[in-house]
Chains A and B, each alone.
Chain A
Amino acid sequence: MEKRSAGFYWLAALFAAFVLFLYGPMITIVVLSFQGPQGGLTFPMNGVSLHWFSRLWEGLGVVDIWAAFRRSLKLGSIVMVLTVVLSLLAGLAYRKRFFGSNLLFYVVVASLIVPSIVVSLGIGLEFRLFDDAIKTLTDTFGWSFLEGYTTAMGLYTSGLGAQLTWTLPFGLLICFAIFNRFDRRYEEAARDLGATPWQTFAHVVLPIIAPSIVGVGLFGFTLSWDEVARSSQAIGDVNTLPLELTGLTTTVTNPEIYALGTLTTGVSFIVIFTALGLMALLRKRAAKVVPG
């Protein structure tokens, strides 16, 4: 092995500093969430306790934090499934030619780089105009079945759509990367052996790409779980956990907010490591089935 240059040590120091910069604040939050009952928002620690977690467990006064927690989990799971299915399907489509494929690609990339607040505002407007139109129609034609209609805006309509415009581009780009690296000979072999397209997909393609697909799911869930900007104007009456959290940053003045931060980060970490573990497991299995 070659001797390390001086540059290596400088860069290694920079890297270490960067990692500290990345994790330092997060660790601070976690440590401070175990602050004693008399402790405040900053150091020093005034004893160690689970006081703020138990306060959190009882709820945060006006805000029903656990309802928001459950909503976010549910929405995140739906976003995850849709992101995996839709981007995998589209990824398959891009291996062939189809009308408008270039246009669709540019739209997807555009969705990634148009500022989130603009997308969010657009969706909010769309649903408001839709509601207005429905109400006008109801009034004009006297449709009784729509009398109680208030709004189409909600967690699983506008909110879901807003989050998908953020998760799907990541999903599709990952699928591009997956299929760029995919060896088509496996598929051809399956076809030569008489497998139908569905059999080829289910028994050959899917097992090979499964680890990466877990990655798509990871992006889908975590991006939704933490999403604020795109949901902000498009979520309707009820808030997701990160939106509640954003509101709480200005009102809560005790370590409860750190406890909540530790909790959501914990959920993120569980999801990340489950996904990474699952990916490693699937890779290992694939390596056993296809030696070399």
Chain B
Amino acid sequence: MTVLAQDKVLPAKAEAKSASAKQPLFSRALPAWAQALPLALVFLVFFIVPLALTVMVSFWDYTEYSLVPAFTLRSYVEMFDGCYDKLPDLCVTLKTYLSTLKFCVSVWLISLGVGFFIAYFLAFHVRTTTMQVALFLVCTVPFWTSNVIRTISWIPLLGRNGLLNTTLVKAGIINTPIEWLIFSDFSVIVALVHLYTLFMIVPIFNSMMRIDRALIEAARDSGASGWQTIWNVVIPLSKPGIVIGSIFVITIVMGDFVTVGVMGGQQIASVGKVINTQMGALQFPPAAANSVILLVAVLAIIAALTKLVDIRKEL
């Protein structure tokens, strides 16, 4: 019997050996650090080093043609030139930041309001999973299409002779076309809300799907009205999603220059546009200084928001 058993075991062993001999490369698992290394290298070369260089160059001097390695505050001084003396009038830089911040707050509030209720509808009112997935996909598909196209697609609707204006004139509601529908703060905000509300919906929906449905029932059984349940149960438990979505929307809008450019008719200032223009004019140190300030502003906002939630727990 023992002999027989051995006979049976041996070929198996031999087979295992030959299998590992066939694939010497993969017979052992790669160590974890080696698996993460390619990704880490990409971020080192294309993210960490560029940011470090941006900070460095922001302190360099420059001429019309070239960069001059130095340590000077010239770019920063020029950026805030007159900001203090002219008070209470705002200098250009402060005005630009204020304008950007205005878009940021408007888009944030609108996308949060809309995004929250869309997510709430999907998570709590749609009853079958299939329907949930289908409706969720309907919301996400535009995200995978071009932002530029989605932006310019507002022009035939909001333009001076656009659909909205012609309809209103024909209906006799207004006599002359409304001018502020396009190339204005209004159109910029519409386009940004259109582009980025999805960034609110996804994380909030994700948080809501984790809420134990028994809690909602408990709230109702205890006599809470619909709004009380939303305010006291759903909102606190969706907070992580709300914070993540807010971070997304705020940072994107703070750095935006394409949408503000196209929908503002290239007439409205934003920090991103200033940086873009300076890069175009080969004024690298001022562009870098602007980037550093923008980055600091964005990080400050995020720091305030992340005080509210631990992002890592939410994945």
Contacts and interface: CB of A to CB of B under 8 A. Distances in A.
Contacts of B279: 121, 124, 233
A268 B148 CA distance: 13
B226 interface: yes
A216 interface: no
A168 to B, nearest CB: 6
Given A113-B298, A177-B315, A246 B194 contact: no
A228 B258 contact: yes
Nearest to B155: A41
A105 B313 CA distance: 13
Interface string B16-42: 100110010111110111111011101
Interface residues of A, number: 99
B204 interface: no
Nearest to A260: B149
A121 B149 contact: no
A108 B44 CA distance: 10
A177 to B, nearest CB: 6
Contacts of B137: 276
B294 A115 contact: yes
B194 to A, nearest CB: 7
B275 to A, nearest CB: 5
Nearest to B36: A93
Contacts of B51: 114, 118-119, 122
Given A32-B156, A92-B35, A99-B33, A18 B118 contact: yes
A198 B29 CA distance: 7
B97 interface: no
Contacts of B288: 121, 125
Contacts of B157: 24-25, 28
Contacts of A242: 146-148
B268 interface: no
B33 A118 contact: no
A113 B161 CA distance: 38
A110 B69 CA distance: 28
Interface residues of B, number: 92
Contacts, number: 278
Contacts of B139: 18-19, 22
Interface string B123-159: 0010100000001011101101111111011111101
A153 interface: no
Contacts of A85: 38
Given A111-B47, A121-B288, A98 B156 contact: no
Contacts of A180: 315
Given A99-B33, A198-B27, A229-B258, A165 B298 contact: no
Interface string A75-109: 00000000001110110111111111100110111
Interface in B194-245: 194, 197, 226
Interface string B88-110: 00000000000000000000000
A29 B117 CA distance: 28
A12 B141 CA distance: 19
Contacts of B72: none
A98 B32 contact: yes
B32 A232 contact: no
Contact of A161 (B26, B46, B144): B46
Contacts of A162: 46
Given A94-B36, A172-B39, A14 B121 contact: yes
Interface in A197-246: 197-199, 218, 222, 225-226, 228-229, 232-233, 242, 245-246
B144 A121 contact: no
B291 A117 contact: yes
A41 B148 contact: no
26 contacts: A11-B120, A12-B121, A19-B138, A25-B154, A25-B194, A86-B39, A89-B39, A113-B247, A116-B252, A116-B255, A117-B257, A117-B275, A119-B51, A122-B291, A123-B46, A128-B284, A161-B42, A165-B43, A165-B47, A180-B315, A198-B23, A228-B147, A245-B149, A261-B152, A264-B145, A264-B146
Task: Please list the 3 inter-chain residue pairs (A to B) with the smallest Cβ-Cβ separation, ordered nearest first.
Answer: A115-B255, A122-B50, A198-B26
Given A18-B139, A96-B32, 6 more contacts: A12-B125, A43-B162, A101-B36, A117-B275, A196-B23, A264-B146
